[in-house]
Structure 1
C-alpha cells in the first residue's frame, strides 16, 4: 500500500475510534435512561399503555424516516461533492432541511386528520403527529454536523437530550395525571401524559440540533432554492425508500402485532424490541463515522479492509450479548414486571435476528454510495416478506410468532446483502475467525449454564456464572480478534 494510502487509513481508523468512543459513552448514558424509562413506564403505566406507546412511536418514526428522505445518508455525499466553501456547504444544508420540512409537515397534516381512523377508540392523542417534523428536521441537521467528522452533537441529542428528556417528562406527566393539581377540567390521561412527554423530548432534541447546525454553517444568506431541494430529493429518492424500509423492518412488526393480537401482546414484544435495540446500536457506534469515510474513499480496498474488521468486531460483541441473554433472559424480563416474564424467548429470538442483521449491515454503506438503486429493492422485498410472515405467525403464536417472522426476514436481508457485496465489490466478509468466536460463545455459555444448574439458580450463583461468562468471553475474544483483510472472491 502506498505511503499516502497508509496515512489515510491511519487517519480513518483514528476517526472511527474517536467516533466510536463518543457514541459508546453516549450509548451508556442512553441505555441507563432507556432502562429507567422502560421500568417506570412498564410498572406504573402498565403493559397495555406500554404497548400503545410502542404502536404510536412505530407509526411516527416510520413516517419520519420517509420524511428525512434519505438525507441522513446522502447529505454527506452532497456536502462532499461541493467546492468546500462556506457558502456552498450552507446552501446544501438548508436545501436539505427545506426538503425534509416540506415532506414532514405534509405527512404530519395527513396524520393529524386521519388519526381517528388509525386509532378509532381515541386510545392515543393526535398530538403525536407533531413528532414527524421534529424527528425528520433534527435528523437532517444532525447529519450535517457529521460532515466535519464529529458525532459528538449527534450523540448528545440522541443519547442524552432525547431519552433523558423523555424520562423526566414521563415522570412529570405521571405525577400530573395522577394528582389533582390541574383540576378536573385540565386533567390529562396516562396515555396523553406519556405521548406528551415523548413529543416534548423530541422538541428539546430538535432545538439542540438546529442550534448546533446554525453555529457550524451559519444562518442562510439567502432563501434556499426549492428547485435545488427537489433535485436533491430526486437524487436521494432511492435511499429514501431504502431508509424507510430499514425503519419499517423494526416498526411494521409492532404495528401488525398490535392489529392482530392487541396492545398487551405488543407491550411484551415492544419491551423485547427496546432491549434488542441496545444490541442493534452496536453497529451505529461506527456507522455515523464510517459513512463519510466511505463516501470520501478512493479505492475499494480501503472500504473492504474497514468492513472486514468492523463486521467481525460487531459479530463478536453481539454474539456475547446473545449468549448472556440465553443464560439470564427470564431474569431480565421479569425485572420489568411479572407480566413480561413470558417474553424471554421473544427477546432471545430478537437478539439472534439483530446478530444476523448487525454482522452484515455495514456492507450496505458502499452499495448505498456506489449503487444506490440496489438497497431499496432488497429492503422492499424484505419488508414484504416480513409483513406476510409476521402477520401469519402472530395470528397463531402472538409475540413469539412476530419474533419468528422478524428473524426469517433478517435472514433474507442478510443473504441479499452478502450476495450484493460479493458481486459488486468482490468481497467476502466471512472467514474462519467467525467460527472461532462462535465456538467460544458456545463453550462459555455451556460453562455458565452448568454453574447455574450446579447452584440451583440462586442469586449468588447467577452472579458467579455471569461474571465467569463475561470474563472468559472477553479475555479469549480479545486474543481471537485480529484485523482481517477482505478475501477476494473468485
Structure 2
C-alpha cells in the first residue's frame, strides 16, 4: 500500500516533467494515500456497522444530519482552506515570516467563524430540525452536532495548511489517527442510536483537531516558520481568492445537500435517501485517490505556476489525471459487477439499491476527472472560471431534480451523473484553453483575478 504511488509514478514517467518533481509527488502521494486509505476503510466499516445497528430509517436520519454537518462545515471554512494552502505553498520557502502570519490569520479567522456557527446551530436547532425533517424530533441531535461542525471546520483547515507546507507525512498521521478513533462511533451508536453516532463523531472530531494542531506546530518549528497571531490582519488579502473558493464550494455542497433533503422529505424518502447515502459511501472510497491527488498536486502545481513552468504544470496535471481516472475506473468496474452483494452489506432493505450503486460507479469516473482538473484550474488562479463551472453544475442538478427526475435514490444518482459529466467535459475544455494561452496572456489573466 505504501509503495502504490511510486509504482503509479513509474507508469506516468513520460508525463511528469522533472525527477525532483516526480519524487515530491510520489512521496506526497505515498503518505497521503496510505493515511487516507486507512481512514476511508475505517469510516466505511463504521458506516456499515452503524447502518446494521440502527436500521434503514434511522440511518436516513443520520444521513440528513451528517450531510448538513458537512455542508455547514464547508460553508464555515469560507473558502479559506484552499486559498491558504495555495499561498502557503507559494511563500513557505521564499518568505517564512509571511507564511507564519498567514497560518496565524487563518487559524484566528476560522476559530471565530466556527464558534459563531456552533452557537447559531445550537440556537436554531429546533427550527432547523422542523424545516428539514418535520416530526422526527431531531432538534437535540442537531444541537449536539454543533460540536462536530466546529471542530470539523478547524480540522479541515489544519489538513489544508499541512498540505500547503507539503508535510504529507503529517497529513497521513492525522487521517490515520482519525480512522483509528472511529470505533468510538461504533460503540456510541450501539448504545444510543442516532444520538450516540452524533456524539461519537463529535468526539472523533475533537481529538482529530487536537492532533492536527500538534502536528501543525511541530512541522512549522521544523521548517523554521514562526506562527504568529499578532498583526495578522494584514494578510486578509487571501480572502479575495477565498471569496471565489467559498462561493464555489457553496454552489457545489449546498446544491448536493439541498437535493438530498428534497428526496428525504418525500413519502418514504428517508428509506430512499438511506439507500442513496449508502451507495455514495462506495463513491467516497473510490474518491480517496482523486481527492488525495487534489490535495497533493495543488501546492506543487501552485509552485510550478509561480515559477512560470507551464510545461511542468501541464505534464504533471496530465500524468496525475491519467492515474486518477485509470484507478477509479478499475474500482468502479468492481462496483458494477457486484452491486447487489455490496449494498446488502448494510443490512436488511439495502440490497434493493444495487441499481443505484451501478449509477454511482459511473459517477465516480466523472467526479475523478472533475476533481483533478479543478486542482489545475485553482492552482492557476482561474477562480472566476471555476466558480462559473460550479454554479453551472449546481444549476443543472437542481433543475433536473425540480423536473421530477430525482424522486427516487436512483433518480438522484442519475441527476448527479448528468450534472457532473456535463461540467467535467466543460472543465477540461476550459483548462485546455488556459494551457494553450501564451505566457504573457496568462500573467494578465492572473492579475485580473487578483
TM-score of Structure 1 vs Structure 2, range by shorter chain: 0.7 to 0.9
- 1:72-110 Cα distance to aligned partner (Å, 9 max, x none): 321133224447454322211010112222222222222
Match of residue 412, structure 1, among 401, 422, 434: 422
Aligned partners of 2:298 and 2:379 also within 8 Å: no
- Partner SS state of residue 119, structure 1: helix
Counterpart in 2 of 1:163? 179
Aligned partners of 1:150 and 1:289 also within 8 Å: no
Counterpart in 2 of 1:144? 161
Counterpart in 1 of 2:206? 203
Counterpart in 2 of 1:299? 309
Q: Following the alignment from structure 2 to structure 1, what is the Cα–Cα distance between the partners of residues 297 and 117?
A: 31
- 1:216-256 Cα distance to aligned partner (Å, 9 max, x none): 23597753446335432233210122233343465444333
Q: Following the alignment from structure 2 to structure 1, what is the Cα–Cα distance between the partners of residues 89 and 142?
A: 41
The worse-fitting range, judged by mean Cα deviation, of 44-53 and 80-89 is 80-89
Q: Following the alignment from structure 1 to structure 2, what is the Cα–Cα distance between the partners of residues 222 and 418?
A: 39
Aligned partners of 1:245 and 1:379 also within 8 Å: yes
Q: Following the alignment from structure 1 to structure 2, what is the Cα–Cα distance between the partners of residues 294 and 28?
A: 23
Q: Following the alignment from structure 2 to structure 1, what is the Cα–Cα distance between the partners of residues 316 and 218?
A: 32
Match of residue 75, structure 2, among 59, 63, 66: 66
Match of residue 365, structure 1, among 371, 375, 390: 375
Written as runs of structure 1 = structure 2, the 5 A alignment for 1:390-429 is: 390-393=401-404, 396=407, 398-426=408-436
Distance 1:222-1:374 versus aligned 2 partners, 3 A rule: same
Written as runs of structure 1 = structure 2, the 5 A alignment for 1:168-207 is: 168-177=183-192, 190-207=193-210
Counterpart in 2 of 1:232? 238
Kindly state the Cα deviation for residue 330 of structure 1 after the two structures are TM-superposed: 0.8
Distance 1:372-1:28 versus aligned 2 partners, 3 A rule: closer
Counterpart in 1 of 2:23? 14
Kindly state the Cα deviation for residue 386 of structure 1 after the two structures are TM-superposed: 1.1
Distance 1:249-1:30 versus aligned 2 partners, 3 A rule: farther
- Partner SS state of residue 237, structure 2: helix
Match of residue 345, structure 2, among 313, 335, 338: 335
Aligned partners of 1:253 and 1:406 also within 8 Å: no
Q: Following the alignment from structure 1 to structure 2, what is the Cα–Cα distance between the partners of residues 338 and 129?
A: 31
Q: Structure 1 residue 375 and structure 2 residue 386: aligned?
A: yes
- 1:346-372 Cα distance to aligned partner (Å, 9 max, x none): 111112112012124312223213321
- 1:141-176 Cα distance to aligned partner (Å, 9 max, x none): 222222332322222323x2333323x222331454
Match of residue 250, structure 2, among 220, 244, 249: 244
Counterpart in 1 of 2:137? 122
Written as runs of structure 1 = structure 2, the 5 A alignment for 1:460-475 is: none
- 1:188-226 Cα distance to aligned partner (Å, 9 max, x none): xx2211110011111111011111112223597753446
- Partner SS state of residue 420, structure 1: helix
Match of residue 215, structure 1, among 214, 218, 236: 218
Larger relative contact order, structure 1 or 2 (CA cutoff 8 Å, min sep 6)? 2
| Structure 2 residues without counterparts, runs of 5 or longer | 1-14, 131-135, 438-450
Counterpart in 1 of 2:297? 290
Counterpart in 2 of 1:265? 272
Distance 1:312-1:393 versus aligned 2 partners, 3 A rule: farther
Counterpart in 1 of 2:54? 45
The worse-fitting range, judged by mean Cα deviation, of 143-152 and 225-234 is 225-234
Aligned partners of 1:94 and 1:220 also within 8 Å: no
- Partner SS state of residue 265, structure 2: helix
Q: Following the alignment from structure 1 to structure 2, what is the Cα–Cα distance between the partners of residues 62 and 33?
A: 22
TM-score (ref. length: structure 2): 0.84
Distance 1:333-1:416 versus aligned 2 partners, 3 A rule: same
The worse-fitting range, judged by mean Cα deviation, of 123-132 and 334-343 is 123-132
Aligned partners of 1:257 and 1:390 also within 8 Å: no
Aligned partners of 1:86 and 1:217 also within 8 Å: no
Q: Following the alignment from structure 2 to structure 1, what is the Cα–Cα distance between the partners of residues 80 and 171?
A: 15
Written as runs of structure 1 = structure 2, the 5 A alignment for 1:347-358 is: 347-358=357-368
- Work out which of the two has the higher radius of gyration on C-alpha atoms and give 1 or 2: 1
- Partner SS state of residue 18, structure 2: helix
Counterpart in 1 of 2:118? 108
- Partner SS state of residue 349, structure 2: helix
Structure 1 runs, 4 residues or longer, greater than 4 Å off:
218-222
Aligned partners of 1:318 and 1:355 also within 8 Å: yes
- Partner SS state of residue 395, structure 2: helix
| Structure 1 residues without counterparts, runs of 5 or longer | 1-5, 178-189, 428-490
Distance 1:114-1:324 versus aligned 2 partners, 3 A rule: same
